[in-house]
Structure 1
């Protein structure tokens, strides 16, 4: 028999949404470091003239890791936006701002704004006047 959905207080909902954002931030960070590690390992394999099949297989592993970075960033953006909407709509409810998770949520929302601003077109390596 399915469980009945439990009614959560706004403070509990804030905690859940904040912890979800923290978990997604860790996931994004893990995928980004995995890409860097795998890129380094692939370069080592290429420079040491490893078996071409091993290199090809590892390129597939690297491509999969690279594919997960934008996916996890997209999911992070969704949960941060969900938290932002929750804070805007439920911030005045009794017990929400007094919750220990309010400060953490505000930090996450502050970081989310800087992450969104950072994600601009990378023009590194372009010559002056060169179109992209």
Structure 2
């Protein structure tokens, strides 16, 4: 009887004292070299800009955008490609800055699309 009482008391104390330790959040730090990958994964779409419509030489790495974003294009950007996306997100090509007057859509991953002539901005839709 004494053994049962002692065992029950020890188990109850262990449960009460270990619950905050075992149930608490485990702190984790993301290495600096991986932070960009997590930002790309969190965005709705990741795109690359290119200096030609064959997408041979890019202007930097993948840039991340979220739905509703309007991207006014630099005149140096001739090509664009979707590198990754969440769900059915796509890019809409616009004739003017600030996403005015739709002229086409960019839907496929990794294909190269011409945005040199007649395209001044891109919009992200999902």
Judge same fold: TM > 0.5, yes or no.
no
Larger Rg: 2
User: Which has more helix, going by share of residues?
Assistant: 1
The structure carrying a bigger strand percent of its residues is 2
Q: Taking CA–CA contacts closer than 8 Å with sequence separation of 6 or more, which of the two structures ends up with the larger relative contact order?
A: 1
